[in-house]
Chains A and B, each alone.
Chain A
Amino acid sequence: MRYYVRKLGFYLVALWAALTLNFFIPRMMPGNPVDALLGKLQQRGGQVGPEVRESFEALLGSDSGEPLWNQYFTYLGNLARGDLGIATSAFPAKVSDVIGQSLPWTVGLVGIATLLSFALGVVLGAVVGWKRGSWLDHLVPATTVLSAVPYFWLALIFVLIFSSQLGWFPLNHGYDVALSTGWNWEFISSVIEHGTLPALTIVVSSVGGWLLGMRNMMVSTISEDYILTAQAKGLRNRRIMSRYAARNAVLPSVAGFAISLGFVVSGSIITEQVFSYPGIGSRLLSAVQNSDYALMQGIFLVITVAVLGANLVIDLLYGAIDPRTRVEN
């Protein structure tokens, strides 16, 4: 119980830190983003009433001389109501709506690809570690080459080979734009067709890390006494490998999975850019290019909260698979 309370407490602190960071970044930077935003808004024919200005000022800071402390609480209050401001680059849409549209794409693509890559890496790593000293060891350096390759460059190469040359996959976008969105097979199959290559890129470039980590832990675990006991017990090799060696060796990988999520998300943002995938990463970049500060901040917040949430889930899961964490304080 104490374990869960501690974990929950930690993520609350982390969330608060992220929110605060988000509050201070625009205020520490040179220039006045509010004026720039409002100017853009007016260009697009938006009416700038005082309440719009106030909302942006709460988000991005102002020179109005209002104490920072008050600004901070207004900002937190707005966030609590889900008010992230208006996305100037998609006027008059609200930031929360823009994010709502693109988030499912990223969660679907990055989520599935990451889980696949983790599962594949752990299983392969377990086998390679178990059969240590065999030809399988040569797989290890090969996978490090893959993990040293920049995500987006690999994506470019894949596009060149599989889309331009071989024509197996579509060049970009998340679905065939000629189709209307909906829950019909035609649309879904188009989504799958478009998502395969980006997903493949993510899997290929991240599987090596999992494989190596799992393999090294496996090698360490094999020299543990309980493995010897299991062998002396006359258990079948397959069982020793899965229930005794891999079951213990996977623990650091699961813990590492939580930590690396941030990196995976980072890598996928760029991958999305290469494929013009309609996810949150492309959105973030277009926001940066259009100086849509409100959208930028909103997306950063959402990504952070999502990563924190996923971390929390994994930590709770970890408590379930490692009984020792439940008693230690």
Chain B
Amino acid sequence: MTNLSPLPGGADESAPPVGGTTDPIATAPRRGRNGLRALLPSWSPKLGIGLFLVLGIALFGIVGPPFFPNPNAIDPIGMTEPSGEYLLGTTQTGQDVLAQLAHSTRGSLQIGLLVGVLATLLSALFGIVGGYLGGAIDEGFSLFTNVMLVIPGLPLVIVVAGFVPAEDRGWWTVALVLAVTGWAAAARVLRAQTLSLRNRDYVAAARVAGEKRWRIVSVEILPNLLPLLASQFVFAVIAAILAEAGLSFLGLGASNSHTLGTMLYFAQNGFALQYEAWWWFVPPGLLIALFGCGLALINFSIDEIINPKLRITRQVKAVGDVAEAAVAGHEAVTESSPDERRDDLVLTVRGLNVVYRSERPVHAVKDVSLTLRRGEILGLAGESGCGKTTLAYAINRLHRPPAEVTEGSVTFHDRSGQDIDLLALENEELRAFRWSKLSMVFQGAMNSLNPVITIHEQLDDVLTTHEPGMSKEERRARCAEVLTLVGVDPQRLDSFAHELSGGMRQRVMIAMAMLLNPQVMIMDEPTTALDVVVQRGILREIIRLRDELGFAVIFITHDLPLLLELTDRIAVMRAGEIVEYAPAEEIYASPRHEYTRRLLESFPSLTGDRGSFIRTGESASRTEPPAASANERAQP
């Protein structure tokens, strides 16, 4: 998981371990030789049907023709319906439709394949080479590609075909023309992907190491583009077969050759439609459709390699719904720990368990119990992957399948004195509860804002949904008010996310979280991606606002020293479990758990010696590459 990804949507901790990477290329193997297996589509019924159709039709076209009589042989009895003698009937001039079909399939496949190869080569040349070399060559190639793309292909082909006398139109001429007019769209996609690959660390590393250009392109870049190239090739073949059929149907195809298109041409001109001779014009079209459909189904599987998000994660169904059972058992949690006064609490989490129900289930949160007092800042510390984000999401029931709460309870003690069992809320109740009583500030505000609508619309959304009684002016005033609270100029209301700096976006998110005066705010690494000065400013702001407005905060971070300054109490989490839960001073002065001590020691101190960086290979809960955790820290 690289944080340098140019695509929006960095990987977040809560993502399930399977198919959780948001970056399409990141999951492709870095080098072809390391994981050729991963490049092969995984088996699915779709792929099976697709392969069956494509191989079956290809076989019919390749092996079939010799078994059938001469397709041009004329029989005096024309237009006969399918019978024992002619399995698919005859044409107007008495030719065997089945024999024609076999020869035509061969002809269409020939052209499709040739065009597929040619078009893929052209698109690779203009897309990959241009994208990799960059500079003037790329500009030129890209302009040429775009021009070719917008000039409509078929009319061009028709005009060209119109100038070439029929006797000069061989099947390879047609293939050449189709390839030249059909490569541009693929080249554009390939260029975009090459550009993104070019900027990856391992390519940069190869460049620095002085590898030759052709070697970088063929060894580092090409293997990662293979699935995409395969998909483009499949598309090119479908498109070519369709285009050739169209051209032949218009009487402009290759002369003296049998393709499915010419068959349809003769059917149309032999009045097959008027005689309702379905056996003549249905089979060729159906064959094209089935072949195209088979290729498209294969493409589905390839697409899922290119973009893992498209994969449907199969969820292993639990025996009975444990969550429901657990919820039912905790209908009324009114008892509270003797040492905590009941009316002081705003949130109680008891024995919460969250499991990712994938093929290899991951127990991400184990028996977590927490309490949050009114106006308190509770810190939740732990390394990445320890389950802290999963816990935060589960509290607000934002976890997505395959994550599932298997046991435990979350109770919200409302200001009104009412207890709300969060795990038992119905859809509409849950929706109304969210944000009005408990709001969240997410990790990486960069992507938490909708990029295409203004800040004002996104703030306003909350008010129109939760406070339908407010007038337009009141809503606008309230939005301006919260922005002022976090120190953002209200004139920024009509800005879009990309017009704001990172710090400002995070402030906007905090402002948004305060819109409805919630009693609890969950902040998940709200400042991790910001530089230290901005981080300071925002933290001070949070403390000031808490003092003014009195909401409670659950503050999640891996940065334990920061929590020591900021929070009242700290829970240290490791591998899904809370290993230590105590007031901040106590954690600082006398950490009881070995892990807490190591966490504390790992940070460099201003006075003492430099701490040793412990978050290396010993990631406790999930087997994650060490780079991932180090990276998180290393990116201010």
Contacts and interface: CB of A to CB of B under 8 A. Distances in A.
A11 B146 CA distance: 10
Contact of A17 (B147, B278, B466): B147
B276 interface: yes
Interface in A150-201: 150-154, 156-157, 159-160, 164
Given A225-B9, A284-B158, A152 B246 contact: yes
A267 B154 CA distance: 8
User: Which A-B residue pairs are the 3 nearest by beta carbons?
Assistant: A148-B292, A266-B154, A153-B285
Contacts, number: 251
A71 interface: no
28 contacts: A13-B143, A14-B151, A18-B151, A25-B159, A147-B292, A147-B296, A148-B293, A150-B285, A153-B284, A225-B12, A225-B444, A226-B447, A231-B434, A232-B396, A232-B434, A232-B440, A233-B439, A234-B431, A247-B450, A247-B453, A262-B149, A267-B154, A267-B246, A274-B268, A288-B161, A296-B158, A296-B162, A307-B150
A293 B242 CA distance: 26
Contact of B159 (A159, A263, A296): A296
B322 interface: no
Contacts of B424: none
Interface stretch (B306-314, B334-342, B371-379): B306-314
Contact of B251 (A229, A289, A304): A289
B264 A145 contact: no
Nearest to B451: A324
Interface of chain A, main secondary structure: helix
Contact of B297 (A26, A144, A288): A144
A304 B307 contact: no
B295 interface: yes
A307 B154 CA distance: 12
A219 B400 CA distance: 14
Q: Which of A149, A232, A289, A324 has the most CB of B within 10 A?
A: A232
A160 B276 contact: yes
Contact of B461 (A141, A235, A288, A311): A235
Interface of B: 8-9, 12, 22, 46, 143, 146-147, 149-156, 158-165, 168, 185, 238, 242-243, 245-246, 249-252, 264, 268, 273-274, 276, 278, 281-282, 284-285, 288-293, 295-297, 300, 303, 307, 309-310, 312, 396, 398, 431-436, 439-440, 442, 444, 447-453, 457, 461-462, 465-466, 496, 498-499, 509, 512
A17 B151 contact: yes
Contact of A156 (B268, B295, B461): B268
A321 B285 contact: no
A291 B143 contact: no
A231 B430 CA distance: 10
B154 A247 contact: no
B465 A307 contact: no
Nearest to B313: A133
A233 B461 contact: yes
A216 B303 contact: yes
Interface string A189-229: 00000000000000000000000000010011001111011
Nearest to A328: B498
Contacts of A300: 155-156, 158-159
A297 B159 contact: yes
A111 B449 CA distance: 36
A251 interface: yes
Interface stretch (A28-36, A42-50, A82-90, A97-105): A28-36
B267 to A, nearest CB: 8
B594 to A, nearest CB: 35
A304 B155 contact: yes
Contact of B252 (A147, A243, A265, A288): A288
Nearest to A323: B496
B249 A152 contact: yes
Interface string A71-84: 00000000000000
Given A159-B273, A220-B307, A243 B453 contact: yes
Contact of A269 (B154, B281, B296): B154
A293 B162 contact: yes
A239 B440 contact: no
Nearest to B157: A266
Given A216-B303, A247-B452, A262-B152, A287 B289 contact: no
Nearest to A163: B273
A235 to B, nearest CB: 5
B451 A234 contact: no
A144 B296 contact: yes
Contacts of A307: 150-152
Contacts of A251: 452
A127 interface: no
Contacts of B155: 265-266, 269, 284, 299-300, 303-304
A138 to B, nearest CB: 11
A301 to B, nearest CB: 10
A223 B250 contact: no
B289 A13 contact: no
Nearest to B495: A323
Contacts of B143: 10, 13
Contacts of B147: 13-14, 17
Given A30-B165, A148-B288, 4 more contacts: A14-B146, A14-B147, A18-B151, A239-B461
Nearest to A29: B163
A219 B9 contact: no
Given A150-B288, A288-B162, A322 B452 contact: yes
A133 B297 CA distance: 18
Contacts of A263: 152-154
Nearest to A250: B452
B430 to A, nearest CB: 8
A141 B297 contact: yes
A123 interface: no
Interface in A17-66: 17-18, 21, 25-26, 29-31, 33
Q: Which of B146, B147, B150, B496 has the most CB of A within 10 A?
A: B150
Contacts of A229: 440, 442, 448-449, 509
A327 B495 CA distance: 12
A116 interface: no
Contact of B465 (A234, A270, A299): A234
Contact of A149 (B162, B289, B297): B289
B242 to A, nearest CB: 5
A153 B281 CA distance: 8
B273 A234 contact: no
A231 B499 CA distance: 24
Nearest to B143: A13
Contacts of A289: 251
A132 interface: yes
Contacts of A324: 451-452, 496, 498
A160 B268 CA distance: 12
Contacts of B291: 148
A259 interface: yes
B158 to A, nearest CB: 6
A33 B164 CA distance: 11
B498 A157 contact: no
A31 B152 CA distance: 25
Interface in A257-292: 258-259, 261-263, 265-267, 269-270, 273-274, 284-285, 287-289, 291
Contacts of B159: 25, 288, 296-297, 300
B32 to A, nearest CB: 25
Interface string A301-329: 00110011001000000000111100100
A287 B250 CA distance: 12
